[in-house]
Amino acid sequence: MNDKIIKSVKTLAVGLIFVMVNLELEYKTMRFNVIPQFPGYFLIYLASKDFFEGEKAKRYGVLAMVCFFVSLLSFTAGLLGSKLGVVGIVIDMIHLLGSMLLMFVVFHRLSEIAIEAENEKAVFFRVIMVGYIATYIAQYLTGILFQSQVVYEFLGMILLILIIFALVMVFRFARELERMV
């Protein structure tokens, strides 16, 4: 394992805190995330050059920047209390799809690195990836289709547990990679 990959995993771990932890506050017409996602996407962009291999580094770097700009726009609109209407729905869908794809490729790559390092965490990263994406989509659809606050909050709790578990696993993995060098 080379130093660049280890450094990129550490940068990525910090970026995942911003991207995965979602703590929204509402006040009158303003709605914003206390821990904004756009810094996390920027950190993932910075890590992508060394984290991904070859053409994937460029492709997923571009995806991280698209998510960065979309989440920055969404965050700014929330702070200003702007209602973006149909444009807001399109922005939210781009953000949702981009974020899910990015989380998929990040956790898939983490599992590949774990396999290369002969680390048992490869399976955990794949389980986290599937669980996170499935729960996130289920929570999103529950809010839109069923508007059941109880189910929405329950899925939110499951999502929070998965996020905490994922972040702990990524930080432990980064530390284990450091020890290998």
Would the CA dihedral through 164, 102, 33, 145 be positive or negative?
negative
pLDDT digits (tens, 9 = 90+) for 23-56: 777 776 666 678 899 999 999 999 999 999 889 9
Burial 135-170 (b: 16+ CB within 10 A, else e): bbeebbebeeeeeeeeebeebbeebeebbeebbebb
From the CB of residue 120, how many other CB atoms can be counted at a distance below 10 Å? 9
- Total-model pTM: 0.85
Per residue in 11-26, pLDDT (tens digit) is: 999 999 999 887 777 7
